[in-house]
Amino acid sequence: MNIKNVKGTKDFYPEDKEVMNWIADTMRKVALNYGFLEVESPAFENLSLLCDEEAEETKSQIFVLEKRSNEQLGLRFDLTVPLARMFVAKQRELPKPVKWFCISRMWRYEAPQKGRLREFYQNSIECYGSNKPESDAEIVSMAIDTMLELGLKKMDFEVVINNRDLLQGFLEGLGIGKIEEIIVIIDKIKKIPQSEFIAELEKAGLSQVQIRKIDEFMKIKDLDKIDESKLNDRAKKGLNNLKQVMSLLEDKEDFIKLSLSTARGLAYYTGTVFEFFDRQGKYRSLFGGGRYDNMVRQFGGQDCPVTGIAMGFETLRLFLDEKMLLPDTELGVDYYIAPLNKDLIKEAVKIASKLRQNYKVNIDLMGRSLGKQMDFANKISAKNVIVIGENEIKSGKVKIKNMMSGEEQEVSLEELQ
């Protein structure tokens, strides 16, 4: 029998679970205040929903369940896909926009020796039905407010933002054919040295003029510096959209940085893309999102624009820990009730019952001596101890001992609540 947890998974003991609950509760509060509603999808889906038969690489990252009764199932690897399925199922009846979030876990297959997480938590937030910059701006704004609510400050993080139409249209305008290949290189611009970046573009067959123009363009820090007259229609559309999104985020401009190279890989994004980074650059990327207007149609729905973000817990938790923003755990009970002997247990249980209406209360379950009970109360960080002896029951008065200060306070049993 293998009594270890599976590699790449984590056991959440009380301290860790409390931290996860705090992150989730904080995210939930902000999402609800932005008018998003919470949903949840099953852990597994029909495999054909998660990947194409032929998409070997995607499939290799999915935990697939053993086939039975002709059912081929896989564990969800994100929340965006199952939520899109749920949206499609009710697309006609739901008033648009539909604003959902889901805080839950998902699974990606990694070989056991890699030591990477195979089970992880995300808050996935989706807005279905609006093709307006307002919805892009709202998602970014909500994510920023979530970070602030978690205790992070302006000096801690920033959001880089771009538009896929602007990037793609610009490259088309340069007469570049292999757009996807070039986008992958451009997306890396901040992660590799300038010389390597140029070399990769050369290797991809771009001319020196094209490379210079790309390099100049990517360095632009202000949308007003872009010469609109030189852009094709697609790039103009993207630029215009990006300007509107930025303008709607004026209140949060201190967090926002234009990044004309950001593409977020070759994933499903069609318009706005954005990515959250720590300003010190310790983490590759905290999380990101954008607009994916083709997804709903892909899952058999009617054409429907979508903007979303997936806020992963793991890097965020490390970041919050580094910034000393994780809350102190509050695992200690408010009261520990210590009966002096066996005959007093029933009286002690009554007192515990009463206090449990409003407080966290533990009571001796081991038939221990008072000394051992005090040891235990200390170990579990009980805040107060109430010793129940015959005198206390007779007099109807108990002493509450504060375990931090050592102070004792006498209270009548009736007052205790």
Count residues contacting a copy of itself (CB under 8 A)?
96
Q: Which is nearer to a copy of itself, 200 or 364 (CB)?
A: 364
CB of 161 closer than 8 Å to CB of 246: yes
Q: Which residues pair with 158 in a beta bridge?
A: 277
Contact between 165 and a copy of itself (CB under 8 A)? Answer: no
Tokens of 264: 């977020």
Identify the residue among 22, 109, 268, 283 touching a copy of itself (CB under 8 A).
109
Minimum Å gap between C-beta 124 and a copy of itself is 13
Q: Which is nearer to a copy of itself, 33 or 280 (CB)?
A: 33
Closest Cα partner for 341 from 396, 400, 390? 390
Q: Which is nearer to a copy of itself, 64 or 258 (CB)?
A: 64
Contact between 390 and a copy of itself (CB under 8 A)? Answer: no
**Cα distances (Å, whole numbers) of residue 356 to 335, 374, 381, 411:** 9, 20, 17, 17
Side-by-side strand order, sheet with 397-402: 361-363, 335-339, 384-388, 397-402, 408-412
First vs last C-alpha separation in the chain = 48
Identify the residue among 19, 23, 27, 39 touching a copy of itself (CB under 8 A).
39
Q: Which is nearer to a copy of itself, 224 or 250 (CB)?
A: 250
Contact between 92 and a copy of itself (CB under 8 A)? Answer: no
Minimum Å gap between C-beta 49 and a copy of itself is 6
Region 250-269 residues binding a copy of itself, contact defined as CB under 8 A: 250-251
Q: Which is nearer to a copy of itself, 100 or 197 (CB)?
A: 100
- Per-residue interface string for the shown chain with a copy of itself, residues 268-307, x marking contact by CB under 8 A: -------------------------------xx-------
Residue 352 CA to residue 349 CA, distance in Å, equals: 5
Contact between 44 and a copy of itself (CB under 8 A)? Answer: yes
Contact between 24 and a copy of itself (CB under 8 A)? Answer: no
**Cα distances (Å, whole numbers) of residue 175 to 162, 168, 236:** 21, 11, 16
Contact between 126 and a copy of itself (CB under 8 A)? Answer: no
With H, G, I as helix, E, B as strand and everything else as coil, classify residue 294: coil
Contact between 137 and a copy of itself (CB under 8 A)? Answer: yes
The long-range contacts involving 369-373, CB below 8 angstroms and separated by at least 24 positions, are 370/338, 370/340, 373/336, 373/338
Stretch that binds a copy of itself, among 209-217, 219-227, 276-284, 346-354 (CB under 8 A): 346-354
Identify the residue among 26, 61, 64, 258 touching a copy of itself (CB under 8 A).
64
Residue 127 CA to residue 146 CA, distance in Å, equals: 16
Identify the residue among 124, 259, 362, 384 touching a copy of itself (CB under 8 A).
362
Identify the residue among 132, 243, 397, 399 touching a copy of itself (CB under 8 A).
132
Minimum Å gap between C-beta 188 and a copy of itself is 30
Identify the residue among 179, 218, 345, 370 touching a copy of itself (CB under 8 A).
345
Residue 90 CA to residue 110 CA, distance in Å, equals: 34
Identify the residue among 54, 69, 324, 328 touching a copy of itself (CB under 8 A).
69
CB of 403 closer than 8 Å to CB of 378: yes
Count of other CB atoms within 10 angstroms of residue 247: 12
Minimum Å gap between C-beta 13 and a copy of itself is 6
Residue 30 CA to residue 268 CA, distance in Å, equals: 26
Contact between 366 and a copy of itself (CB under 8 A)? Answer: yes
Count of other CB atoms within 10 angstroms of residue 55: 12
